[in-house]
Structure 1
Amino acid sequence: MDKQKDVLTIGRSSIDLYSQQVGADFVDIKGFDAFVGGSPLNIATGCSRLGLTCSLFTGVGQDKVGDFILNFLEKEKIDTSHVPRIPGARSSAVVLGIQPPDRFPLVYYRDNCADIQITIDHALQIAFEDYRLVEISATALSKEPSKSTVFFSVEKAYSENVPVVLDIDFRADQWHDVRAFGLNVRAILPKVKIAIGTEEEILAAMLKDQSQITIEHQQISAPKITGDVNQAIKSILETGVEVLLVKRGAQGVTVYTSKGEIIEVPGFPVEPLNVLGAGDAFASGFIYGYLQGWSLYKACRMGNASGAQVVLQSGCANFMPTLDESMDFIKSHGGF
């Protein structure tokens, strides 16, 4: 039977408040622009704008922020039938500063957040076999009941031969112990076909000592992590992952496969305004190319193009490119 839908993404959703004063120190911010966020929401939006049929599995509160998030998703033609309103919980929020070229501090408000309250009962309402691909965010493993729900969802997708993509998505302050992040990621990797992460996230997945992590200027999304990245890559592939995509910022992406292939995929040279969300844009572009049956190289170039366009903007999901915009961008920058 043909799959009825293209992509199901699972995990965080939030209202994101981005500083209106680009370059200002956080204490000098005078106002914020309200966008939506959360890695799985961003990826679903990027995929939808490229023409894929997408569903999001997350939770929102019975509050106005939940209304804000759902209104955006519906306008973006993203299926919200698996976005329950969670009684007694609040929709998530993130406050972000923008200080190019390399400081992007952020503060999460995720106490009693609704997206962590998705349950196995919610997951039982999903026909995983209808999807061509399931994408999950590792942050959704940080607390129960979301943790068990994601493991259950991955098990269901795996049993239906639906490929699972894992965004390693390391946010140190969301874990009671950063070593627990690696334990959970390593536990789920055997049922993951494609994993995506920065070098720091890949090191975090194999973390042995908390002293390996340093976070400066509250850059939760960009910690400094010491360790042997080549050994960490090897360890991830040994879990059964078929493809590991290592995001290297402006340098592009390096693809590692379980067959021993290493493919260097160059990025697109641009002057970034805001790098937050670039990885989610990459994932959406890559997923689009992957589901078109493109080579890993071409799919990653598509991902790099999405990321390069989003870093020129002050937000993420709200600025994901359309298919025509991406194709024009790629053509104007030398082609695939």
Structure 2
Amino acid sequence: MPEVVTLGETMVLFNSMNTGPMKYVTHFAKQIAGAETNFAIGVCRLGHTAGWISRVGKDEFGKYIVSFVRGEGVDTSQVKVDSEAPTGVLFKERQEEGESKVYYYRKGSAASRMTPEDIDPNYLQGAKYLHISGITPALSDSCYETILEAIRIAKSRNVTISFDPNIRLKLWSEERAREVIMGLIPEVDIVLPGLEEGRLLVGANEPEEIAASLLKAGAKIVAVKCGAKGAYYAAGDSAEFIPGYPVARVVDPVGAGDGFAAGFISGLLKGWSYSESVKLANAVGARATQVIGDVEGLPTFEEVEVFLGQRKEIER
């Protein structure tokens, strides 16, 4: 059984090959996009095992996604093929500077039809971590129930639960996002919000305040992602701000947060301290921004060592 299990929707991504408004884009690259598979692939590249629970449509896009994810070493045995709903699609509009924009075509998708029955309790037996995101409960009521069931099963088997809020306001309102996500905080162990997400959830501006509020709400460990500046973590009596790693040019920022989560959980799987795990998370997140695509820039552990100057790369 895999060390880490995750569940959620992965879509086919059509990534614009030139920058500017979508109406002027003429060429796209076909890739995949999904916070949970980004995370799972990142974990596998760092030397661990991961499994993914989901649904895809009985279509060529579904075949492509499963083949790609499986090819990255992620176990896809728990992915079901839905013959009555399509695989979700999104388009990414890229800018020379600033955040990319995404346009979803996922309503009524196969993954949005996930139910608690899609989870085999035995699949979590022996797993060390269950990783979930705030995207999945936003997809549908049945997806929300599926997340609650996954949490229940994980807790019954003493599996540590990590949670990335991953708020997507194109999927639901601020009020509903806050209500659901804050309701999940007491049920999980590790919370990995971005700075803006923390502000939306608890109304605080500083990472220290955000972490304190989420710990008070029931989380055991909180790591607040602060972009290129780094990340602040707090757990019990331990708290520290860990500086980030500058990169010469950010090519594509999407997926960096999922890379951070993969790096943090990888560090914990290796038995490292919270501080060391956040350092690895920062490095993975930074490295992920240097390549176009959500997963293409996620590094292996050896590539992280090269990035940090701990290993010399032989180029020829």
Query: What letter is aligned with 1:127?
Result: Y
Q: Determine whether 1:238 maps to 2:220.
A: no
Q: Shift in Å at residue 12 of structure 1?
A: 2.0
2:315 maps to 1:328: no
CA distance in 1, matches of 2:245, 2:205: 27
1:174-253 equivalences under 5 Å are 174-175=171-172, 177-206=173-202, 228-229=205-206, 231-253=209-231
Amino acid at match of 2:77: S
Which of 15, 19, 35 is residue 39 of structure 1 equivalent to?
35
Residue 73 in 1 paired to residue 51 in 2? no
Structure-1 residue corresponding to 2:293: 315
Say whether residues 1:289 and 2:260 are aligned partners.
Answer: no
| Residue identity opposite 1:53 in structure 2 | T
For 2:221 and 2:66, locate their aligned partners in 1 and report how far apart those are by CA, in whole Å. Answer: 33
Distance 2:240 2:111 in 1: 36
Is 1:168 matched up with 2:168?
Answer: no
AA aligned to 2:133 is S
Per-residue deviation at 1:65?
A: 0.7
For the residues of structure 1 that align with 2:5 and 2:176, how far apart are their CA atoms? 26
Q: Kindly provide the CA deviation profile for residues 300-335 of structure 1, in whole angstroms up to 9, marking residues without a partner as x.
A: 1111111111101111213321121112112269xx
Q: CA deviation at 1:125?
A: 5.0
Matched, 1:27 2:4: no
What is the CA–CA distance in structure 1 between the aligned matches of 2:2 and 2:122, rounded to whole Å?
12
**In the alignment, which residue of structure 1 is the partner of 2:282?**
304
SS of the equivalent of 2:128 reads strand
The CA RMSD over aligned residues, in Å, is 1.8
Residues 42 and 262, structure 2, Cα contact 8 Å, conserved in 1: yes
Structure 2: distance between partners of 1:76 and 1:196? 24
> Structure 1 residues 162-171 or 46-55, which shifts more?
46-55
Structure 1 residue aligned with 2:145, among 144, 148, 164?
Answer: 148
Unaligned stretches of 5+ in structure 2?
312-316
Q: Under a length normalisation based on structure 2, what TM-score does the superposition of the two structures give?
A: 0.93
Shift of the alpha carbon at 1:261?
3.2
Give me the whole-angstrom Cα distance separating, in 2, the residues matched to 1:66 and 1:83: 10
The answer to whether the 8 Å contact 2:289/2:297 transfers is no
Question: Corresponding residue for 2:156?
Answer: 159
| Residue 56 (structure 1) aligned with residue 52 (structure 2) | yes
The CA deviation at 1:74 is 1.7
Using the alignment, how far apart are the partners of 2:233 and 2:21 within structure 1? Answer: 36
Tell me how far apart the structure 1 counterparts of residues 97 and 242 of structure 2 sit (CA, whole Å).
Answer: 23
Contiguous gaps of at least 5 residues in structure 1: 208-226
Q: Please, what TM-score do these two structures have when normalized by structure 1? A: 0.87
* Equivalent residue pairs, number: 309
Question: 1:203 Cα shift?
Answer: 2.4
In the aligned structure 2, how far is the partner of 1:263 from the partner of 1:71?
A: 40
The question of 1:10 aligning with 2:7 is answered yes
List 4+ stretches of structure 1 deviating above 4 A: 227-232
Q: Percent identity?
A: 26
One-letter amino acid of the counterpart of residue 252, structure 1: G
**Distance in 2 of aligned mates of 1:303 and 1:45:** 14
Q: Do the aligned residues in 1 keep the contact of 2:121 with 2:153 (CA within 8 Å)? A: no
State whether structure 2 residue 244 is matched by structure 1 residue 267. yes
Per the TM alignment, residue 87 of structure 1 is displaced from its structure 2 partner at its CA by: 2.6
Q: Could you tell me whether the CA contact under 8 Å between 1:100 and 1:272 is conserved in 2?
A: no
Contact 2:99 2:253 in 1 (8 A): no
